[in-house]
Structure 1
Amino acid sequence: MTSSRQPDRLPVSVRAPYVPFGERHLDRVRREIGWVEPFGVSFFTRFLNATVGVLVRGIAWLLERLQLRSGQRGEYLADRKAGEIAGSEAAAQALERLLLAGASHRAMVRALRFPTEVEPLDAVRRAVTEVPAREIERQLRASRVRETRTDATHPPTYLRTRLLRARPATTARVVLGTDESRAIDRELEPAATTVLAELRMEG
């Protein structure tokens, strides 16, 4: 009597590995160690990358550094012009207030999520102007360690303020009066209202 029992399958650990059709002997080993044939497109590409590619990457890096240096020089010149118009100390303090961007953002989020009688823009203004001097000094020390900057193309903020204060002090050439300040606020009010409406919808 013939037994109908099927032969047991071999465990996975002892099965022969799957070999794709057309796979040559030791092809898998060659791929793992990065072996390439001594001739052909792959070899030619790697040869160019190892010779000419090094030169091209070096030139690209140099051009990027020159562009970055030129952009940072432009920022220093813009800071100098701001110091001539608004006064060197006022321009330096305005740059230092940029370090409070996180505090102003948190103030805006709180004002939108938990509405009060204080308008969101007024809450942000208070968050920036009512910060104690010791907190600003702490932020400045941290920015020197972290080399905080507006973005990757700008110089570190502490270097910008240091250069402004290193030059001879200048007084403001343009001083806004109350009427001029209110006129600017009225001009910016429509845009601010639109932005606040969009933020409320997103929140």
Structure 2
Amino acid sequence: MSKIRKICVYCGSSTGTDPAWLAAARRLGRLMAEHRIGLVYGGGSNGLMGAVATAVVDHGGEVVGVIPEFLRTKENMFDRATELIVTHDMHERKRIMFEQADAFVALPGGIGTLEELVEQLTWAQLGRHRKPILLADIGGFWQPLVDVLERMRDAGFIHNGALMNYRVCSRVDDILPTLAAAVAPVSEREKAGDAETVEKL
């Protein structure tokens, strides 16, 4: 995986209370398009999700939206996407997003964003993939989670933290360079990863 072609961005389906989060989503989308990096995301047009997708498309970039059937109306499916994939359920959605992406970025968001982020951290810790994971800590949003992860590590509950090896950026402009520096040469099998979880059973 010598080059990042697509980034999966996890983020809220609302804009939140801080205007900086919306600005960050728009800025990230623009930077991705300008660097010819495609977006893989949850397929909605609301909130930060819609903002990052709109920015990518507005600046000539490619967007792959992946949305389950039951959320097509609730999250107002983004009809300007380059490709829209409608899945049967959330598990299929997450698997496809994983397979399509070369790296993962978590902008501010809610429970869904947290769940998707933690799942990628879990798979990385278990050695199922080596794709870079980055927390966009805009305005310190993710700092409480970083503190919890460090607490888990100190308490002896995270044993393969080196595999998890997530990055944290407080500035949007640092995200792409940080991910580029994190990409390691890996085999095709490792690049594809193996997104097996108990949820699929």
Scaled to the shorter chain, the TM-score interval is under 0.3
Give the TM-score normalised by structure 1: 0.23
Give the TM-score normalised by structure 2: 0.23
Higher percent of residues as strand: 2
